[in-house]
Structure 1
Amino acid sequence: MPGRPELIGGFGAVSSTHWLATAAGMAALERGGNAFDAAVTAGFVLQVVEPHSNGFGGDVSIVLHEARPGRTAVVCGQGPMPRSATTAAFAGLGLNQIPGSGLLAACVPGAFGGWLRLLAEHGTISAADALAPAIGYAETGFPLPADSQKAIAALVPLFAEHWPGSGRAFLHHGAAPGVGARMRNPELAATLRRLVDEGEHARGHRETKIEATIDAFYRGFVAEAMDDYLGRTAVLDSTGRRHRAFLGGDDLDRWHPTVEDPVSLRYRDLTVHKPGPWSQGPVFLQQLALLEDLDLAAMDPGSGRYLHTIVESAKLAMADREAWYGDPDFVPDRLGALLDPAQIARRRALIGEHAVPDPAPSTIGGVSGWVPDVPADEPPSFESDWMGQLQSGMPTIVLRAMVKSGDTCSVAVADRHGNLAAGVPSGGWLKSSPVIPGLGFPLGTRGQTLWLVDGHPNSLMPGKRPRTTLSPTIALRDGKPYLAFGTPGGDRQDVWTLESFLAVTEFGADLQSATETTMFHSDHFPPSFTPRRCRPGTVVLEDNCGPEAVADLRARGHDVELVAPYSMGSKVCMVGVGEDGFLRAGAGPRGKQAYAICR
């Protein structure tokens, strides 16, 4: 499976988790657009052609670098929780956790506004041009990916009997279409076309028309359709019961996508930029800070020592994520303390020769961080396989043969002007909740990542952003554009991308080889998605490393689980600018769907 070449060119580079999105992004560059136009165009196509992994009711996190004036920024397309969603309201429903499917976990869908905010402030083309390829695929069809087909096939009874909007959108004559079948979504195409039309009829410049398109979604006909449906409809979810959403039109009306400064860290001659602690992005920075003085380049990247070192740094960073990260609009931002050199030195000293069995979060200002211990809700007594699928809040579908499908998307773009963009869209996938009649897309379930406890940084509060796993990255070298990348993977994104990043920066790998490096991660801490099951001490490792490394890890105290080579969900999409000025691109081979283009 590995062995694709690194792509090199001087005009533009696009990498995404679907070849059709990558092609659409390159077409935007060919028409004279910049990296931000290309990223938005590709991002919208992803929301059509990967319905098992993301959608227009989901969310997105974007990091960008604009060569002129040399600004790096973050676009937050993570919508907040509804104003009526409280811990007391969930307790009244008898729930310990926010369900991972249905309508209770629905936030304001931020992806549409996030992409268009990027387009308005940094792009050059119209919303009509950016959405044209997505409308085309929704209207005339696209070949159904194998992962989408597996997800639909597993959920046929749910769609046919309980979620009729999803049945109309994804079933053909009541059955799952085949792999490669022409898949259309005429309701979604009509929604997108009307959004474009309302924006184009607004008076004013390009930016005004884009803002009118955003308004049509959040304060116009889309919000009205959502409000009407959500206000009168209770749907079956993973609890085995029917519930109405807390989300309403007023929540959409209040929300606007924001542009923020990134969280940044100097690492050797690089400056690495991530989204803030409303995401898990700073985990990447904490790991780099812990690893910087450990002379990784002197280690064999396939050795047990190297694997152990990365895993232990990830466990320490994830412990802090679980204890301290949350929406900084609601809770104190602790990143300054967590990244303080003295604090990093104390944490680094915990990385020894053997696995730490129970790494504790950092203590800040004399206060110990804590991780909630919340019991999972009892699953319903349904014996249907589709109900079992709903118990996991992830988009993955686990079949009897342990085949998994669905797990977020990614796009990264570099252009000849020195602009970089990396976006990770997710949520609103076909497994999350029913397709809304007349709109053609479901809502997301990101609210499930919040805790139903009091006093924790990631506890539920009305209007608060859930801590998202979506975590794109941009790195500059001596202030100049260097790398932009992201991957699917839920909680594992910042471990898998770190492994590819270190392959480039520490071991001189080209971008394509870096995406093909052996992937591994720890399952020590609870995932962000219900039912939050973890496996303390477990390291999951692709079985294309030597047996000596596996034996070494086990001798150090790790419980190693081997999986097939190139079988994990990592699909790192990476672009960059070399010292010679050429643009470069790579796309991870796992899943045989991510592709890069460079010319």
Structure 2
Amino acid sequence: MSGFTSRPELRGDFGMVSSTHWLASAAGMSVLERGGNAFDAAVATGFTLQVVEPHMNGPGGEVPAVFQPAGGTPTVLCGQGPAPAAAVPDAFDGLHRIPGSGVLPATVPGAFDAWLLLLRDHGTLPLRDVLDHAIGHARRGVAMIGPVADKIAEIAKVFTRFWPSSAALYLSRGLPTAGSRHPNPALAACYQRIVEESERSARTREARIDAARAIWREGFVAEEILTSLDGPVPDSTGTPHHALLTGDDLATWSASYETPTSLDYAGHTVHKTGPWGQGPVFLQQLRLAESLGVAELDTLSPEFVHTVTEAAKLAFADREAWYGDPNFVDVPLAELTSRGYAEQRAALVDDTASAELRPGSPNGHTPFVPDPRIADAAVAGRTSEGVEIVPSGEQRGDTCHLDVVDAAGNMVSATPSGGWLHGSPVIGNLGFPLGTRGQMFWLDPRSPSVIAPGKRPRTTLSPTLVTRAGQGVLALGTPGGDQQDQWTFNFFLRVMHTGMNLQEAIDSPMFHGNSFPSSFYPREMAPAELVAESRFGERAVAELERRGHRVSVSDAWSLGRLAAVARDPGTGELCAGADPRAGQGYAAGR
């Protein structure tokens, strides 16, 4: 497979931006060309993604990032807003699971504050200059990509029946079609007003950015959010709920920096978020790969697919059993990522696919295992008025990703998500909905991810930064929920061990397993299910089925939306690749 690419790997020495939409990558590259650094470009890219991929992310969502300033140390930016102060399990009385839509699962919106914190501390440009692309696209409108039009078509009955503010924004000209130009004047006005108010209230660049953050948390944005929550709000089934989110929740939270969770592998160091995200599961898979000799396997062979899938089942079972916000729960990360523990766990992998959820017992402790009844799939239904609806469990949110590197060696990997247009009704005067990330909490008190006031949900968002000898060499990521740390893991092994360049590794056939509880409502699990692109071939599929995998053959180019950038510290050469799947991810650079 090495040598084949759907498009060339980009190479240069000035700057590289890769993201899940070409307009966002173009915005980031424009900022680099205008003298901004990688952090300025990342912020511009992130805000543009909110406009061009509203089914994937929005201002009401969240963003984790892992970054490294040139000459600095790898750092995690936590833009994951926590649960409201009123979010105790009893607030969900009568429910077995937190709903996947509406305002009840809303956490504190985190994306806006996180992007501005990064801009203030590591960027160089004024807020106006990094928001201009997003504002312009929202004001003029952008050509709607097919997936956005498809998502609106799926949820249109919910808009017209229960969410009139969403219908006013997205259905006022009829059902959108791919290629139709669609503006978001409310969002453009919101961001323009923030820029202008912040410039009137402060004189320096940094003070204006802090003023904008305050406007978001306590000014007109917060006021509009709270007004939209004054009274019960229906979810996508028409069931009304009162939001738990309050003005105090909005005013008292801010984004923050953390030390990454890191692990050395093959002469490199991989940096991920803490266990409030699923990032450490990537590191557990690396330890298992060492124990199982995965580096010696052909990455396109059934043996590789089988071994990596079985190892992933073990790591993701541990994710469900042990991961949670470390400010609230003692997560045994040192043991989970140790070689001794990996060797013990690797002994469970044999020639046969497992259909069991098998978390380990680090330090001899008993793991959390979800009640199997909670993993039952949702059943389609109707409202009391007979309107067919798509259950919120089937309306899965997705995600965006971006990576940026500049000539100085500044590097950013970020995975913005949440605030999906199908998750919650649009706040009419702001042009965006709230997020529904609270659905990732458990209500089972045994779980390390049980909901609690001020606690971060154990998110699936998982950017990756890789260093060598202390310098950033690779930034990567993908949308995909529970699949993120499976697709990126496959990509990473191919880059590390086969000699593939970034684009070759992205273009190679992908696969993932579903043999663990989903992170999203309704928490279903598909024991022994393995999804693989058809390009693996019938012979490989037959061999995997012989080993006991329930193989679901996916379209040839359907799994993943990866983005990646790289830098050679010795030569200063920069590289980038982007996924051709879905037809919208592109890299830009020179």
Q: Which residue pairs with 2:533 in the alignment? A: 542
Q: Which residue pairs with 1:400 in the alignment? A: none
Does residue 61 (structure 1) correspond to residue 51 (structure 2)? The answer is no
Q: Distance in 2 between matches of 1:302 and 1:64?
A: 31
Q: Which residue pairs with 1:573 in the alignment? A: 563
Mapping of residues 496-507 of structure 1, within 5 Å: 496-507=487-498
Relative to structure 1, the CA distance from residue 440 to residue 558 in structure 2 (aligned partners, 3 Å threshold; closer, same or farther) is same
Does residue 114 (structure 1) correspond to residue 119 (structure 2)? The answer is no
Q: Deviations 1:329-359 (Å, cap 9, x if unpaired)?
A: 1111221121122112211222222223324
> In 1, are the aligned partners of 2:162 and 2:238 still within 8 Å (CA)?
no
Q: Which residue pairs with 1:95 in the alignment? A: 95
Mapping of residues 215-234 of structure 1, within 5 Å: 215-230=214-229, 232-234=230-232
Does residue 444 (structure 1) correspond to residue 446 (structure 2)? The answer is no
2:80 to 78, 81, 101: 78
Q: Distance in 2 between matches of 1:412 and 1:104?
A: 32
Q: Distance in 2 between matches of 1:222 and 1:4?
A: 42
Q: Which residue pairs with 2:207 in the alignment? A: 208
Does residue 35 (structure 1) correspond to residue 68 (structure 2)? The answer is no
Letter in structure 2 aligned against 1:350: L
Name which of structure 1's ranges 156-165 and 508-517 shifts more when overlaid on structure 2: 156-165
Q: Which residue pairs with 2:303 in the alignment? A: 305
Q: Quote how far apart the aligned CAs of 1:391 are.
A: 3.5
Q: Deviations 1:460-498 (Å, cap 9, x if unpaired)?
A: 111111111110000012222210011000111000011
Q: Distance in 2 between matches of 1:155 and 1:562?
A: 27
The secondary structure found in structure 2 opposite 1:481 is strand
- Identity of counterpart residues, as a percentage? 49
The secondary structure found in structure 1 opposite 2:526 is coil
Name which of structure 1's ranges 336-345 and 462-471 shifts more when overlaid on structure 2: 336-345
Q: Which residue pairs with 1:150 in the alignment? A: 150
Q: Distance in 2 between matches of 1:371 and 1:199?
A: 49
Relative to structure 1, the CA distance from residue 161 to residue 571 in structure 2 (aligned partners, 3 Å threshold; closer, same or farther) is same
Q: Quote how far apart the aligned CAs of 1:162 are.
A: 1.5
Letter in structure 2 aligned against 1:156: A
Q: Distance in 2 between matches of 1:293 and 1:314?
A: 13
The secondary structure found in structure 1 opposite 2:390 is helix
Q: Quote how far apart the aligned CAs of 1:195 are.
A: 1.1
> In 1, are the aligned partners of 2:99 and 2:392 still within 8 Å (CA)?
no
Q: Distance in 2 between matches of 1:238 and 1:443?
A: 14
Q: Which residue pairs with 1:381 in the alignment? A: 382
Q: Quote how far apart the aligned CAs of 1:46 are.
A: 0.1
Relative to structure 1, the CA distance from residue 166 to residue 577 in structure 2 (aligned partners, 3 Å threshold; closer, same or farther) is same
Relative to structure 1, the CA distance from residue 134 to residue 298 in structure 2 (aligned partners, 3 Å threshold; closer, same or farther) is same
> In 1, are the aligned partners of 2:483 and 2:512 still within 8 Å (CA)?
yes
Q: Which residue pairs with 1:404 in the alignment? A: none
Q: Distance in 1 between matches of 2:152 and 2:356?
A: 39
The secondary structure found in structure 1 opposite 2:210 is helix
Letter in structure 1 aligned against 2:255: P
Relative to structure 1, the CA distance from residue 385 to residue 302 in structure 2 (aligned partners, 3 Å threshold; closer, same or farther) is farther
Does residue 483 (structure 1) correspond to residue 482 (structure 2)? The answer is no
Q: Quote how far apart the aligned CAs of 1:205 are.
A: 2.4
Mapping of residues 49-448 of structure 1, within 5 Å: 49-68=52-71, 70-91=72-93, 94-173=94-173, 175-230=174-229, 232-373=230-371, 374-375=373-374, 380-382=381-383, 387-392=389-394, 394-395=396-397, 407-448=398-439
Q: Deviations 1:44-90 (Å, cap 9, x if unpaired)?
A: 0000111111111111111101112x211010111001111211110
Q: Deviations 1:566-590 (Å, cap 9, x if unpaired)?
A: 112x110000013542100000111
The secondary structure found in structure 1 opposite 2:467 is strand
Q: Deviations 1:443-472 (Å, cap 9, x if unpaired)?
A: 010000001111310001111111111100
The secondary structure found in structure 2 opposite 1:266 is strand
User: What TM-score do you get using the length of structure 2 for normalisation?
Assistant: 0.96
> In 2, are the aligned partners of 1:61 and 1:425 still within 8 Å (CA)?
yes
Q: Quote how far apart the aligned CAs of 1:424 are.
A: 0.4
> In 2, are the aligned partners of 1:361 and 1:369 still within 8 Å (CA)?
yes
Q: Deviations 1:388-420 (Å, cap 9, x if unpaired)?
A: 25333512xxxxxxxxxxx21000001100111
Q: Which residue pairs with 1:492 in the alignment? A: 483
Q: Which residue pairs with 2:547 in the alignment? A: 556
Supply the RMSD in Å over aligned alpha carbons. Answer: 1.6
Letter in structure 1 aligned against 2:450: S
Relative to structure 1, the CA distance from residue 171 to residue 335 in structure 2 (aligned partners, 3 Å threshold; closer, same or farther) is same
Q: Quote how far apart the aligned CAs of 1:236 are.
A: 1.8
> In 1, are the aligned partners of 2:294 and 2:308 still within 8 Å (CA)?
no
Does residue 16 (structure 1) correspond to residue 19 (structure 2)? The answer is yes
Q: Deviations 1:416-452 (Å, cap 9, x if unpaired)?
A: 0011101101110110100012111000100000011
Q: Quote how far apart the aligned CAs of 1:384 are.
A: 6.9
Q: Quote how far apart the aligned CAs of 1:534 are.
A: 1.3
Relative to structure 1, the CA distance from residue 380 to residue 254 in structure 2 (aligned partners, 3 Å threshold; closer, same or farther) is farther
Letter in structure 1 aligned against 2:7: R
Q: Distance in 1 between matches of 2:380 and 2:575?
A: 48
Q: Distance in 2 between matches of 1:546 and 1:229?
A: 51
Letter in structure 2 aligned against 1:431: H
Q: Quote how far apart the aligned CAs of 1:192 are.
A: 0.6
> In 1, are the aligned partners of 2:18 and 2:577 still within 8 Å (CA)?
yes
> In 2, are the aligned partners of 1:414 and 1:575 still within 8 Å (CA)?
yes
Relative to structure 1, the CA distance from residue 419 to residue 302 in structure 2 (aligned partners, 3 Å threshold; closer, same or farther) is same
Structure 1, unmatched stretches of 5+, are 396-406
The secondary structure found in structure 2 opposite 1:597 is strand
> In 1, are the aligned partners of 2:139 and 2:185 still within 8 Å (CA)?
yes
Q: Distance in 2 between matches of 1:153 and 1:183?
A: 15
> In 2, are the aligned partners of 1:154 and 1:385 still within 8 Å (CA)?
no
Q: Distance in 1 between matches of 2:578 and 2:379?
A: 40
> In 2, are the aligned partners of 1:239 and 1:379 still within 8 Å (CA)?
no
> In 2, are the aligned partners of 1:2 and 1:589 still within 8 Å (CA)?
no
Q: Quote how far apart the aligned CAs of 1:156 are.
A: 2.2
Q: Which residue pairs with 1:453 in the alignment? A: 444
Q: Aligned pair count?
A: 582
Relative to structure 1, the CA distance from residue 153 to residue 385 in structure 2 (aligned partners, 3 Å threshold; closer, same or farther) is farther
Q: Distance in 1 between matches of 2:388 and 2:494?
A: 40
> In 2, are the aligned partners of 1:100 and 1:448 still within 8 Å (CA)?
yes
Name which of structure 1's ranges 242-251 and 545-554 shifts more when overlaid on structure 2: 545-554
